[in-house]
Amino acid sequence: MIISERSEKAQRITWLGFWVNLGLTLAKIMAGVFGRSSAMLADGIHSLSDFVTDLIVLAFVRVADKGCDEDHRYGHGKFETFATLLISLALVFVGIGIGWSGIVNIIRALGGEELGEPSLLALAAAIASIASKEWLFRVTRKVGQSIQSQAVIANAWHHRSDALSSIGTMIGIGGAILLGGVWRMLDPIAGVIVSIFIIKVAIELGLPSVKELLESALPHETEAEILHIIHHTPGVLDSHRLRTRKIGNSYAIDIHVQLDRHISFIESHDIASLIERNLRDRYGFQTHINIHTEPLKEKIIPE
């Protein structure tokens, strides 16, 4: 996929999420105020965090798709990795905030304080939020997977976290309206449960980004596939010192390959070029490849 096309698709779906989030945030806050629902008001404030992640994606994905320059010889791919990490951290804080708010309200209810009864307006807002955010999650994830953008996929999961929090809000508001009394505590209990799922998703998104920023090697199965491609290239006799890492959406591969010591320099170069072509056919044209060719040492047979 052409770099500009990838960036354009990422920004298009993110702008869609931005405007949906704007409408939902205003609707939730108004429903929370006029519907007398502290849970819906908190849910609306939670939606404000989506603006931050949308802006992060819009800013970083465009930069990540830039090619190499004098300051970034390996391109700008890690800007997208950094954006994914920021989104996961935002999700962690959102999850902690929702969980803490729920725990405080549970303690208040257990202490004998009667929680307020929300109106049907707040319930309707929660249902609308679930439907729209789940739809937004699905379309954003589909685009993120098609362009292989971890930042867009992470932003999709942020949409899902908003849908999950609205489910908790809907359960709490519905329980408070239908059952009343002590059952109004369903709202904060559901919020705590949802916060746990949000934090779990955040950790699952953030850990790969941390590993990449710390220069972790590619998975063993990927390295095994790389070696298989190299060893099945005509002229390659052996290899060693394989080093790999991930740079945003691209791989970096560094390896020493051993060739017949009697071949010419031109033949050695042609074999290295063939290896590069085979690897880029498999992992994309943006793959960073460094191949060091060396003669295979002759084995000394003891007399």
Task: Please indicate, yes or no, whether residues 236 and 206 belong to a single structural domain of this protein.
Answer: no
Compare 62 and 206 and report the one with higher pLDDT: 206
Give 301's pLDDT tier (boundaries 50, 70, 90).
very low
Show which of 213, 238, 257 is a domain's final residue.
213
253 and 207 in a common domain? no
Residue 44 has pLDDT above 70, yes or no: yes
CATH code, domain with 93: 1.20.1510.10
Whether the per-residue pLDDT at 64 is higher than 60: the answer is no
pLDDT of residue 227: 94
The answer to whether residue 236 is domain-embedded is: yes
Convert the pLDDT of each residue in 163-193 to its tens digit. Answer: 877 887 788 778 777 876 667 777 777 777 7
Question: Would you say residue 2 has pLDDT above 80?
Answer: no
Going by pLDDT thresholds of 50, 70 and 90, the confidence category of residue 154 is confident
Same structural domain, 62 and 192:
yes
Query: What is the overall mean pLDDT for the chain?
Result: 79
> Could you tell me the pLDDT band of residue 52, with boundaries at 50, 70 and 90?
low
Mean pLDDT of 115-142: 85
DSSP, residue by residue, 181-247: GGGGGHHHHHHHHHHHHHHHHHHHHHHHHHHHHTTPPPPHHHHHHHHHHHHTSTT--EEEEEEEEEE
Q: Which one is predicted more confidently, 284 or 52?
A: 284
What pLDDT was estimated at residue 106? 81
Regarding whether 90 and 19 lie in a shared domain, the answer is yes
Residue 303 within any structural domain of the chain? no
CA nearest neighbour of 143 among 246, 283, 11: 11
Domain boundary among the residues 180, 213, 246 is at 213
pLDDT-based confidence at residue 11 (cuts at 50, 70, 90): confident
146 and 239 fall within a common domain: no
Q: Which residues of 189-203 are buried (b: 16+ CB within 10 A; e: fewer)?
A: bbbbbbbebbbebbe
- My answer on whether 119 and 167 are in the same domain is yes
Asked whether residue 302 is domain-assigned, the answer is: no
Q: Is residue 300 part of a domain?
A: no
C-alpha dihedral over 133, 95, 206, 145, to 10 degrees?
Answer: -10
Token code pair at residue 300: 């000394």
For residue 14, being part of any structural domain is answered with yes
Q: Are residues 201 and 263 in the same domain?
A: no
Q: 84: pLDDT confidence band, cut at 50, 70 and 90?
A: confident
pLDDT band, very low/low/confident/very high, at 33 (cuts 50, 70, 90): confident
Reported as a pLDDT band with limits 50, 70 and 90, residue 300 is: very low
The radius of gyration of the chain's CA atoms, rounded to the nearest angstrom, is 26
Least confident window among 53-62, 148-157, 268-277: 53-62
Distance of CA 295 to the CA centre of its chain: 43
Examine residue 25 and state whether it is found in any structural domain, yes or no: yes
Residue 74 clears pLDDT 60, i.e. is over it: no
Which of 213, 247, 280 marks a domain boundary?
Answer: 213
pLDDT-derived band at 204 (thresholds 50, 70, 90) equals: confident
Is 186 found in the same domain as 124? yes
Query: Does residue 204 or residue 51 have the better pLDDT?
Result: 204
41 within a domain of the structure (yes/no): yes
User: Based on the domain organization, do 154 and 93 belong to the same domain?
Assistant: yes
Backbone angles phi, psi at 143, to 5 degrees: -65, -45
Query: Which residues on adjacent β-strands are paired with residue 239?
Result: 257
Amino acid at position 238, single letter: D
Q: Are residues 141 and 254 in the same domain?
A: no
How many domains are there within the chain? 2
**Sequential DSSP letters for the chain:** --HHHHHHHHHHHHHHHHHHHHHHHHHHHHHHHHTT-HHHHHHHHHHHHHHHHHHHHHHHHHHHT----SS-TT-SHHHHHHHHHHHHHHHHHHHHHHHHHHHHHHHHHHTTPPPPPP-HHHHHHHHHHHHHHHHHHHHHHHHHHHTT-HHHHHHHHHHHHHHHHHHHHHHHHHHHHHT-GGGGGHHHHHHHHHHHHHHHHHHHHHHHHHHHHTTPPPPHHHHHHHHHHHHTSTT--EEEEEEEEEETTEEEEEEEEEE-TTS-HHHHHHHHHHHHHHHHHHH-TT-EEEEEEEEPPPP----
Instruction: Write down the pLDDT at residue 67.
Output: 58
Tell me the average pLDDT across 12-28: 85
Instruction: Beginning with the edge strand found earlier in the chain, give each strand of the sheet holding 238-247 in spatial order.
Output: 238-247, 250-259, 288-295
pLDDT of residue 271: 92
With beta carbons less than 8 A apart as the criterion, state whether 205 and 152 touch: no
Give the integer Cα–Cα distance in Å for 259 and 40: 67
CATH number at 264 reads: 3.30.70.1350
Indicate whether 95 and 75 sit together in one domain: yes
Question: Per the confidence metrics, is the pTM higher than 0.85?
Answer: no
Q: Is residue 188 part of a domain?
A: yes
Domain of residue 248, residue span: 220-295
User: Do 58 and 164 belong together in one domain?
Assistant: yes
Predicted confidence band at 72 (pLDDT cuts at 50, 70, 90)? low
